[in-house]
Structure 1
Amino acid sequence: MRRIVIVGGGYAGFYTAWKLEKRLKPREAELVIIDPRPYMTYQPFLPEVAAGSIEARHAAISLRSHLKRTRIIAGGATMIRHADKTVTVRPADGPDFVVDYDIIVVTAGAVTRVLPIPGAEEVAIGMKHVEEAVAIRDRLLTAFDRASVMEPGPDRSRLLTFAYVGGGFSGVEGFGELLSLATSLLKRYPEIRFSELAFHLVEANSRILPEVTDAPGRWVVESLRTRGGHVHLDARVVSAVDGHVVLSNGEEFDANLIVWTAGNAAHPVIAKHTDLPTDERGRLIVRADLRVGTPDAPVLDAWAAGDNAAVPDLALPTPGALTVPNAQHAVRQGKRLAANIAATLHGELPRDYRHHSLGVVATLGLGRGIFQYKRLVITGPLAWLMHRGYHVLAIPTWERKIRVLVVWLTAFVLGRDIVSLLSVQDPRGAFVSGGLPHAR
Structure 2
Amino acid sequence: MPRPRIVIVGGGHTGLTLALRLQRILRDGEADVTVIDSQPHMTYQPFLPEAAAGSLEPRHVVVPLREALRKSEVITAQVTAIDHARRELTATIGDGTAEYISYDVLVVVPGSISRALPIPGLAEQGVGFKTIGEAIYLRNHVLSRLDIAASTTDDKLRRRLLTFMFVGGGYAGIEAMAELESMARYAIRDYPGIHVRDMRWVMVEAMGRIMPEVSQPMGEYTRQRLTDRGIEVKLNTTAKSMEGGHVVLSDGDEFDTDTIVWTAGVKPHPMLEGSDLPRDDKGRVDCTAKLQVRGTVDVFAAGDCAAVPDLTSRDPNAKCSPSAQHAVRQAKVLADNVVALLRGQELHQYRHRYAGSVAGLGLFQGAAEVYGVKLKGFPAWALHRVYHLAKMPTASRKARIMGDWLLELPFRRQVVALGELHDPRSEFVKAANTRGLPQRHGGQAG
Shorter-chain TM-score range: over 0.9
CA distance in 1 between partners of 2:372 and 2:14 (Å): 29
Q: Determine helix, strand or coil for the equivalent of 1:217.
A: helix
Are 2:327 and 1:326 aligned? no
Are 2:404 and 1:407 aligned? yes
Mapping 1:15-164, distance limit 5 Å: 15-164=17-166
Q: Which residue of 2 aligns with 1:342?
A: 339
Q: Which residue of 2 aligns with 1:279?
A: 280
Displacement of 1:198 after TM fit?
A: 0.7
Displacement of 1:325 after TM fit?
A: 0.6
Runs of 4+ in 1 over 3 A off after TM superposition: 432-435
CA distance in 2 between partners of 1:152 and 1:94 (Å): 47
2:308 aligned partner, one-letter code: V
Displacement of 1:434 after TM fit?
A: 4.8
Displacement of 1:240 after TM fit?
A: 1.3
CA distance in 1 between partners of 2:366 and 2:250 (Å): 30
Q: More deviation in 77-86 or 26-35?
A: 26-35
CA distance in 2 between partners of 1:301 and 1:50 (Å): 40
200, 203, 206: which is aligned to 1:201?
203
Mapping 1:382-401, distance limit 5 Å: 382-401=379-398
CA distance in 2 between partners of 1:426 and 1:284 (Å): 38
TM-score under structure 2 normalisation?
A: 0.94
Q: Which residue of 2 aligns with 1:438?
A: none
Displacement of 1:429 after TM fit?
A: 2.4
Displacement of 1:412 after TM fit?
A: 2.3
TM-score under structure 1 normalisation?
A: 0.96
Q: Which runs of 5+ in 2 are unaligned?
A: 433-446
CA distance in 2 between partners of 1:410 and 1:434 (Å): 39
Give per-residue Cα distances to partners, 1:362-389, cap 9 Å, x unaligned.
0111110001124321110110000001
Aligned length: 431
350, 353, 356: which is aligned to 1:359?
356
- Aligned sequence identity (%): 43
CA distance in 2 between partners of 1:186 and 1:221 (Å): 24
Give per-residue Cα distances to partners, 1:311-363, cap 9 Å, x unaligned.
11122233221111111111111111111111121121111111223321101
Q: Determine helix, strand or coil for the equivalent of 1:186.
A: helix
Q: Determine helix, strand or coil for the equivalent of 2:217.
A: helix
1:406 aligned partner, one-letter code: G
Q: More deviation in 383-392 or 178-187?
A: 178-187
CA distance in 2 between partners of 1:194 and 1:221 (Å): 19
Q: Which residue of 2 aligns with 1:309?
A: 306
CA distance in 2 between partners of 1:356 and 1:286 (Å): 18
- Asked if the contact 2:214/2:356 (under 8 Å) is kept, the reply is no
2, 8, 14: which is aligned to 2:4?
2
Displacement of 1:138 after TM fit?
A: 0.5
CA distance in 2 between partners of 1:383 and 1:94 (Å): 47
1:180 aligned partner, one-letter code: S
Displacement of 1:205 after TM fit?
A: 0.6
Q: Which residue of 1 aligns with 2:441?
A: none
CA distance in 2 between partners of 1:101 and 1:242 (Å): 48
Q: Which residue of 2 aligns with 1:290?
A: 291
- Asked if the contact 2:128/2:262 (under 8 Å) is kept, the reply is yes
Q: Which residue of 1 aligns with 2:369?
A: 372
Task: Give the alignment's Cα RMSD to 1 decimal.
Answer: 1.4
410, 413, 418: which is aligned to 1:421?
418
